[in-house]
Amino acid sequence: MIAPSSPQSIEASRCSSCAKFIAPTRTRCPYCAGPMQPVHVDGRGKIISWTTVHVTPEGIPSPRTVALVGLECGASVLCIVDDARTLEMDMHVEVVFADGLHRLG
C-alpha cells in the first residue's frame, strides 16, 4: 500500500481476513467472503493478457482493446488500452484511473 496522494496509486480493497487485494473496490472478498477495507495501491504491474473488442455498447468507440494487468499487490485489473501496437506479455506498465475507467498510463 502507498499514500493516497501518490500520482500512480489506484483505489482497491484489501480483505481483513485473508489479506488479498482486489481492484476495483469491493465490500466482500471474492476468495473468502470476508469484509474488505478501501486502500490505495501502487498502479504498477505487468501485462497478463489482452484482447480487442469489435462490438461495443452504444456510445463506446470500437474496436476497443482491453488488457488484464497484474498489479504488484497481487490484484488484477482490466484496463482500456489506447494504443495496443506496443503491448507485449509481461510488459511493465502503469495503471491510472481517469474518466471513470482504468487505463494504461
Q: Which residues would be at the binding site for Zn ion (CB under 5 A)?
A: 15, 17-18, 29, 31-32, 34
CB of 27 to Zn ion, least distance (A): 12
Are the C-beta atoms of 78 and 70 separated by less than 8 Å? Answer: no
Smallest distance, Zn ion to C-beta of residue 58, A: 37
Q: Residues near 11 by Cβ (< 8 Å), separated by ≥ 6? A: 23, 24, 25, 38, 39, 40, 97
State the nearest-atom distance from the C-beta of 83 to Zn ion, in Å.
35
Bond before 61 cis per omega within 30 degrees: no
Select 4 or 31, whichever has its Cβ closest to Zn ion.
31
Q: How far is the CB of 28 from Zn ion (least distance, A)?
A: 9
Q: How far apart are CA 44 and CA 24, in angstroms?
A: 15
Q: In this structure, are residues 103 and 64 in contact, taking their beta carbons and an 8 Å threshold?
A: no
User: By three-state DSSP, how is residue 93 classified?
Assistant: strand
State which residue, 75 or 81, has the beta carbon closest to Zn ion.
75
